[in-house]
Amino acid sequence: MPIMLAPAPAAAEREWAVVCLCAAWCRTCDEYLPALRALAAREPGARFVWIDVEDDAEWIGDLDIETFPTLLVLAAQTPVFFGPLPPQIAVLERTLQALRESTPSDAAIDAEAADDLAAIAARIARWGL
């Protein structure tokens, strides 16, 4: 089961979600997790979810995750970013800021991944994560 990294924001504040796709065996992911939890605590209006790509394989469908961490960012349950990021929280913070300042576009999402990403967004919404 995916892990919520901070208390869930109120339903009205759930516009943004950051989904980290990692693996339990990945030492980089282990090192990234505490910093991601700290960012989640500083961003009370966003949901931060940790999905283990092996333990929670049914959550990611046919996505082929090759680089860790891989991040999925949702705006109002719509994927606006999907891809690997360097395991540095400052990079994620700048990415989130840029996404918040831009107009979300489906063009930034790989068409082959779109259905699986939409399914992840729907599962997160359904589980209240």
φ, ψ at 90 (rounded to 5°): -60, -35
Mean pLDDT of the chain: 86
DSSP H/E element including 14 = none
Look at strands 46-52 and 3-4 and give their pairing: antiparallel
Q: Average pLDDT in the 15-43 region? A: 94
Please count the structural domains in the chain: 1
CA dihedral 5, 6, 9, 15 (to 10 degrees): -40
Q: Grade residue 13 by pLDDT with cuts at 50, 70 and 90.
A: very low
Contact between residue 60 and residue 15 where contact means Cβ atoms under 8 Å apart: no
pLDDT exceeds 70 at position 74 = yes
Report CA-CA distances (Å) from 30 to 6, 35, 58, 113. Answer: 17, 10, 22, 26
- Pick the more confident residue, 26 or 126: 26
Percentage of residues of the chain with pLDDT beyond 90: 56
**Mean pLDDT value of segment 104-109:** 59
The pLDDT value given to residue 12: 44
CA distance 103 to 95: 13
CATH of the domain at 12: 3.40.30.10
Is 82 in contact with 110 (CB distance < 8 Å)? yes
Cα(1)–Cα(50) distance, rounded to whole angstroms? 9
CA atoms of 112 and 97, how far apart (whole Å): 26
pLDDT over 90 at 95, yes or no: yes
- Of 2-11, 19-28, 54-63, 77-86, give the lowest mean pLDDT range: 2-11
Instruction: Provide the residue range defining the domain that includes 91.
Output: 3-127
Q: Give this prediction's pTM.
A: 0.84
